Amino acid sequence: MSTASYQDQFAALASERKGPEWLPALRQAAMTRFAELGFPTTRNEDWHFTSVTPIAERTFKPVRAEKSSVTLDALSPYLFGAEDWHRLVFVNGRFDPALSMFAGLPAEVTVSTLADALKTQPELLVEELGKLAQYVEQPFTALNTAFMSDGVVIHVPADVVVEVPIHIVHVADSGAAGAALYPRTLVRADRHAQVTLVESFIGLDRATYLTNAVTELTVGEGAVVGHYKIQREAEDAYHVYTSQAIQAATSTYHAFSFASGSALSRTNIYTRLNGAGAEGRLNGLYCLDGSQHCDHQTFVEHIAPNCASRELYKGILDGSAHGVFNGKVYVDPEAQKTDGKQSNHTLLLSGTARIDSKPQLEIFADDVKCTHGATVGRLQDIALFYLKSRGISAVSARALLTYAFAAEVLETIEVDAIRLGLEALVFERFTNGVPA
Amino acid sequence: MSASIETLVNKEYQYGFVTDIESDTIPVGLTEETVRLISAKKQEPQWLLDWRLKAFRRWLTMTEPSWPNVKYTKVDYQAQTYYSAPKSVKPLQSLDEVDPELLRTYEKLGISLTEQKRLSGVAVDAIFDSVSVGTTMKDELKKAGVVFCSFGEAVHEHPDLIQKYLGSVVPYSDNFFAALNSAVFSDGSFVFVPKGVKCPLELSTYFRINAAETGQFERTLIVAEEGASVSYLEGCTAPKRSTNQLHAAVVELIALDDATIKYSTVQNWYAGDADGVGGIYNFVTKRGKAMARAKISWTQVETGSAITWKYPSVILQGDDSTGEFYSVAVVNNHQQADTGTKMIHIGRNTKSTIISKGISAGHGQNSYRGQVKVLPKAEGARNYTQCDSMLIGNKCGAHTFPYIEVANDSATLEHEASTSKIGEDQIFYCKQRGLNTEHAISLIVAGFCKEVFKELPMEFALEAQQLLGISLEGSVG
């Protein structure tokens, strides 16, 4: 598992890159770090249940510039029927202005592509880019920082409320075959600002590629940020994603992660409760089948006192899918009056599915209330029997109970269009097209 | 802090005395020669020496684990003594021949080796540094067909059993400390309960470290044949010394079809002083294998040791076997504990229960680390895990690292964990009823640990509760 091919790619790209003068130094530092770290192995505690060998043994190359043939029609099933959302579409890593639409934003809000922002807002980027998502211990973040090509930069100034979600759509089609995509997103919501960000990762064609995305979010005092990540990559694709939020006092951050695509995916959702009275909510649902492998890792750092965190992750595993959940809650000695709650529940639909769950608590303050819970099981025979006794077919009974299992976490979605969209998706998936 | 609490804080570890007794101690250092010397001193057969040497050679290739959530100065394995025995120990016909100084030592520890103990219905094997100094009530056990003796004795008298079962649950290559133990273990207890026999007495081993700069490496092997049952308790203490001492034990339990083994530990090694100087490093490997319908139950009350690294586990090999783990771990001052269990579900309809109560006070750091693994063939496996932590004071920490690995859809697993401060409203209520703070806390803690204490043999439950009170003294003020 050599990192040399990435070092060669990095050297070859050096001349083509543009941007402010501090950027090459950041990229170089990240590249050097990646070369030192290499791809993680299962001997690394954070990667104990997820082997990235399929990623490491291939060499994914930057995508060649090509004209996009993706149409809005092809995208529409993935847009939650919400035509009015602000939308930025990237096809195979490249921004597609024709499919994008974000003119209607409040005047104070700046939304631009990373490439543009490097020209127009270098002062914001030098302050924020690469400051939260640390690459020193995270090989994939290092790789993204070295190669980040394009992405989105969002700045919502103080007291501004963005009513309509901003949807960032990363689409891959057959043009992405063999490629590595490195999207990078930066969000800053200042004091009392409100914004909802939706990040979709979509694979339209069957292709093997690697998405390695990083998102950094700064949530100002009293700000409210909703963050939805929808992963529906192609079935042969690899997906690694890391988001790191930092929350100031009394802010609210809600991150929801949905995953149903990709052969092998790893999603890291991290938040740091840095100001008193902040609230972090991390929820997620993964529905897997076949030989899919899906790993979620969450990290809630309670740094300031009086903060609350709520976490609910659910998994529905069919076929010989392998789900992994690793939720870490850290409570600093200063973080008194912390109220933390975490749950992970897994439903196994087949005898060959497998789950590895590791909910962790690390608590250094005494006046806290922290709990975690985890359960694993299959549908209850007695519940199935009851439904069948009421004249409901076996297939429908299973679908209904599976859907009910998922509904608890889907209910935490505050954007109606996403909730309805995912509810329909889950229901359809488990009825296998058979009408209820 | 009130004056009464002040006195309690300064109360000494009451088992911290040193017995002045002449010892036969081998030179410091660890080489193949040391292993040969220990084996020769114990007049062991060739196969055992070969096994020790294999373990030693494997140990040389291994590295000390760094994953436990504990920080300590690494042990210099060449600065330890691997064998120390009171000089007077010869094969004894009766306990009357035991050095009176030793008897007084055990008397002081509250363990009577004299026959009056008969009344309490407990047979005791007393281990002083590296060797067993005596086993009580042997005759009574013999009548029932139960073998209870020191490990060294068993090697000579029941070589076939030892050869069959030694290393069958914890192989010498298992981990760094198990390999070290396999190479240099000096003594320990051996229990064999034949087919269908219910052991008529509670069995107990009392471990005492006395000599300085000496590691204690005992090895316990308990075999319960088909339908047999036995309850076993170990207790341990050590003198106060300002240097850290190493204790690396291995315990293997084998419960054949329909057998039951209940293993209880009250661990009260010297924990170091209030500033964290001295204390025992307790690095222990304990594992049991349960065959069809067998049951293995671990109960532990961990109040001592500077560092604890211990995961009593059950391999649920047979169908319908049961594993249980009940634990109370208390850390105060600068103690650190990383303890928990492993339940490996292999057979069908296997059941496991884990109840873990962690109490952290002072600067103590307490980690629960547990694994519940359900293999693909373990149809109908069932696990219930509950681990609760209580924090007393704001300098301590409580951590939970559960690993839940399930590869069978018919398995049902539940895991619950909570961490909270000792309830101020509960303390207030107790005080309002006329109890002082100290009493209130000990009452609340006793309630918190009740589920575990009720698993201990009765006479030890009381002792454990008192021990807990002493460990936590002075933690609030």
Q: What are the pLDDT tens digits along chain B (477 aa)?
A: 233 333 333 345 667 677 776 677 788 888 999 999 989 988 899 999 999 999 999 999 998 888 888 888 888 888 888 887 766 545 455 555 566 666 666 666 665 555 444 444 566 777 776 666 666 677 778 888 999 888 888 999 999 999 999 999 999 999 999 999 999 998 888 999 999 999 888 888 877 777 666 778 889 999 999 999 999 888 776 667 677 788 899 999 999 999 999 998 888 888 888 787 888 889 999 999 999 999 999 999 888 888 999 999 999 999 999 999 999 998 888 899 999 999 999 999 999 999 999 999 888 999 999 999 999 999 999 999 999 998 888 888 999 999 999 999 999 999 999 888 887 888 899 999 999 888 888 888 888 888 888 887 766 677 777 777 666 666 654
Helix (H) or strand (E) holding B206: strand B202-208
Q: Please report the pLDDT score of residue B122 as a whole number.
A: 61
pLDDT (tens digit per residue) in A80-128: 988 889 999 999 999 999 999 988 899 999 999 998 998 888 888 888 8
Distance CA B411, CA B373 (A): 10
* Chain B interface test: which of A328, A364, A382, A405 (most B C-beta within 10 Å): A364
Distance (Å, rounded) from C-alpha B334 to C-alpha B316? 36
Contacts A–B by Cβ distance under 8 A: 118
Question: What is the rounded distance in angstroms from the CA atom of residue A377 to the CA atom of residue B148?
Answer: 43
C-alpha torsion angle, residues A62, A68, A73, A77 (rounded to 10): 0
Q: Which two tokens stand for residue A412?
A: 């935490």
pTM: 0.86
Instruction: Inspect the interface and report whether the beta carbons of B417 and A365 lie closer than 8 Å.
Output: no
Q: Is the Cα dihedral A101, A106, A111, A117 positive or negative?
A: positive
* Per-residue confidence (pLDDT) for residue A12, from 0 to 100: 86
Among the partner-chain residues B389, B409, B416, the one whose CB lies closest to the CB of A348 is: B409
pLDDT at A18: 74
Q: How far is CA B377 from CA A143, A352, A381, in A?
A: 40, 10, 20
Please give the structure tokens belonging to residue B142: 């013999």
Minimum CA–CA partner of A316 in chain B: B409
Has residue A277 got a pLDDT over 50?
yes
Q: Are B81 and B60 in contact (CB under 8 A)?
A: no
> Over the range B182-218, which residues count as b (16 or more CB within 10 Å of their CB) and which as e?
bbbbbbbbbbbbeeebebebbbbbbbbbbbeebbbbb
Sequence-ordered list of residues with C-beta below 8 angstroms from that of B93, at least 6 positions apart, any chain: none
DSSP 8-state symbol, B423: P
Residue of A nearest to B371 (CA): A358
Four-residue CA torsion sign, A12, A16, A21, A26: negative
ipTM: 0.81
**What is the C-alpha to C-alpha distance for residues A256 and A244, in angstroms, rounded to an integer?**
13
User: Looking only at Cα atoms, what is the longest distance across chain B?
Assistant: 68
Residue B41's φ and ψ, nearest 5 degrees, are: -60, -35
Q: How high is the pLDDT of residue B110?
A: 60
Sequence letter at residue B365: Q
Instruction: Please classify residue B314 by burial: count the beta carbons closer than 10 Å to its beta carbon, then call 0-12 exposed, 13-18 middle and 19+ buried.
Output: buried
User: Quick one: which of B202, B342, B203 has its CA closest to B285?
Assistant: B342
Q: How many angstroms separate the CA atoms of B446 and B432, rounded?
A: 19
The answer to whether B375 and B410 are in contact (CB under 8 A) is: no
Q: Tell me, what amino acid is at A426?
A: V
From B66's Cα to the closest Cα of chain A, the distance in A is 12
- Long-range CB contacts for residues B117-120, cutoff 8 Å, separation at least 24: B120/B459
| 3-state DSSP assignment of residue B295 | strand
* Six-digit token string for A89: 């579409």
- Cβ neighbours of B301 (radius 10 Å): 30
Distance CA B356, CA B419 (A): 12
- Measured between beta carbons, the chain B residues lying within 8 angstroms of A47 are none
Cα separation, A115 vs A108, in Å, equals: 20
Instruction: Please tell me the distance from the alpha carbon of residue A203 to that of residue A229, in angstroms, as a whole number.
Output: 14
Q: In sequence order, which residues have a C-beta less than 8 Å from that of residue A35 and are 6 or more positions away?
A: A3, A6, A7
Whether chain A has a CB inside 8 Å of the CB on B292: the answer is no
Q: Does A384 touch chain B (CB under 8 A)?
A: no
Mean per-residue pLDDT, A244-270: 97
Specify the length of chain A in residues. Answer: 436
Whether residues A370 and B420 touch (CB distance < 8 A) is answered with yes
- The residue type of B417 is A
CB contact under 8 A, A356 and B403: yes
pLDDT for the residue numbered B119? 41
Nearest Cβ partner for A370 among B67, B404, B419: B419
Neighbours of B65 (CB within 10 A): 11
CA-based torsion, B91, B96, B102, B108: positive or negative: positive
Q: Around B50, how many Cα atoms within 13 Å sit in the side-chain half-sphere?
A: 4
**Closest CA relative to residue B253, chosen from B208, B217, B299:** B299
Backbone angles phi, psi at A23, to 5 degrees: -65, -45
What is the rounded CA–CA span in Å between residue B47 and residue B294?
A: 30
pLDDT of residue B477: 42
Torsion sign, CA atoms B27, B28, B34, B35: positive
Query: Position of tokens 């109908």?
Result: B380
Provide the pairing of β-strand A94-95 with A86-91.
antiparallel
Structure confidence by residue, pLDDT tens digits, A381-401: 999 999 999 999 988 898 889
pLDDT at B103: 66
Closest alpha carbon within chain A to B370: A358
Helix-strand-coil split of chain A, %, nearest 5: 25, 40, 35
Say what the pLDDT of residue B12 is. 57
Digit-coded pLDDT (tens) for A163-213? 999 999 999 998 899 999 999 999 999 999 999 999 999 999 999 999 999
Distance from CA of A359 to the nearest CA of B (A): 6
**Paired residues of A202 in beta bridges:** A171, A232
Which positions in chain A touch B413 (Cβ < 8 Å)?
374-377
Asked if residue A175 lies in contact with residue A142, where contact means CB atoms within 8 angstroms, the answer is no
Q: Does B407 touch chain A (CB under 8 A)?
A: yes
- Find the angle CA(B145)-CA(B148)-CA(B149) to the nearest 5 degrees: 135
Nearest CA in chain A to B411: A377
| Yes or no, beta carbons of B414 and A375 under 8 Å apart | yes
Our measurement of the distance from residue B36's CA atom to the centroid of its chain's CA atoms, rounded to an integer in Å, reads 27
Of residues A51, A317, A281, A373, the one with CA closest to residue B402: A373
Confidence (pLDDT) at A100: 93
Q: Give the SS3 label for residue A104.
A: coil
Residue among A366, A369, A372 whose CB faces B394 most closely:
A366
Are A84 and A164 in contact by the 8 Å Cβ rule? The answer is yes
Cβ atoms of residues A67 and A73 within 8 Å: no
Hey, is the C-beta of A41 within 8 angstroms of any chain B C-beta?
A: no
User: For residue A277, is it left (φ>0), alpha (ψ between -120 and 50) or beta?
Assistant: left
The answer to whether B208 touches B276, Cβ cutoff 8 Å, is: no
Coil, strand or helix at A288: strand
Which residue in B342, B373, B388, B406 has the most chain A C-beta atoms within 10 A of its own C-beta, making it the best mutation to test that interface? B406
Nearest-Cα distance to chain B for A39, in Å, is 20
Enter the tokens of residue A381: 């025979």
